Amino acid sequence: MLKVHEINLFYGAIHTLRDISFEVRPGEIVSLIGANGAGKSSILNAISGIVPIATGDILFEDKSIKKLPAFRLVGMGLAQVPEGRRVFARMSVLENLEMGAFTRQDRARVQEDLERVFTHFPRLKERRRQHAGTLSGGEQQMLAMGRALMSRPKLLMMDEPSMGLAPLLVQEIFDIIRQVNQDGTTVLLVEQNAQMALSLAHRAYVLETGRIIKTGGGQELLKDEDVRRAYLGG
């Protein structure tokens, strides 16, 4: 579904991503784990076209998307939940969700999807008239996810969904990611919380200073000595 082929990315003089290659197959949950600054978010921003890559190619459903402007991708079925949630604070919860369906014309099914998002996140339904800026961090994360789901994506990319959330909420968010995946959405997950990310993932890649240093099944990497020492605290 998604093939990233030897991409390189620079921020000014800093070589952020070095020859990164990986793929996400239909139906999978794939996790990218690594420390802060390893380049995880840069990968997502490169895929969604927010930062341009220097070399390499990115294929989505066998079509190169590296030259497409960011706003074209969501219509192709690629949605991103950005790092730090990035909800539209001065717009209502409902309007935020509507923005997620911005490119869609099929109104009736948008309405269905809205109901589905409200079933996943009943809190959002209660607060649909409130400004998104007044929500708690956890609710904003739910809104950011709901907003991305409103585009009915084939591939959902999530950037640090656990960041700054209480452990109970993290568990809730990850349960929903699993549900969304079981409903047929492919997921690419970027996480610092390696424990959660690996236990959820079918496959995972370990990133270190802009390079992929290890890959394998989620469960397999959970048991890997190096991974345990570096990311799971023993």
* Residue 82 binding other proteins, by CB under 8 A: yes
Q: Which is nearer to other proteins, 158 or 227 (CB)?
A: 158
Q: What phi and psi, each to the nearest 5 degrees, are found at residue 35?
A: -75, 170
* Residue 79 binding other proteins, by CB under 8 A: yes
Beta strands in 25-75 (DSSP E): 29-34, 55-60, 63-64
Question: Which residues touch 208 (CB under 8 Å, ≥6 apart)?
Answer: 34, 35, 38
Q: How far is the CB of 169 from other proteins (least distance, A)?
A: 14
Name the one residue in this structure whose structure tokens are 């492919």. Answer: 186
Q: Which stretch binds other proteins (CB under 8 A): 60-68, 83-91, 189-197, 200-208?
A: 83-91
Q: How far is the CB of 151 from other proteins (least distance, A)?
A: 7
Q: How far is the CB of 208 from other proteins (least distance, A)?
A: 26
* Residue 102 binding other proteins, by CB under 8 A: yes
H helices of the chain, in order, are: 40-47, 70-76, 93-100, 107-120, 122-126, 137-149, 167-182, 194-200, 218-223, 225-231
* Residue 166 binding other proteins, by CB under 8 A: no
Order the strands of the 63-64 sheet from edge to edge.
Answer: 14-24, 2-11, 55-60, 63-64
Alpha-carbon distance of 85 to 136, in angstroms, equals 11
* Residue 90 binding other proteins, by CB under 8 A: yes
Contact residue for other proteins among 41, 42, 48, 185 (CB under 8 A):
48
* Residue 11 binding other proteins, by CB under 8 A: no
Instruction: Output the six-digit token pair for 233.
Output: 């605290």
Interface residues toward other proteins, by CB under 8 A: 48-50, 69-75, 79-80, 82, 84, 86, 88-91, 95, 98-100, 102-103, 133, 135-137, 140, 147, 151, 164
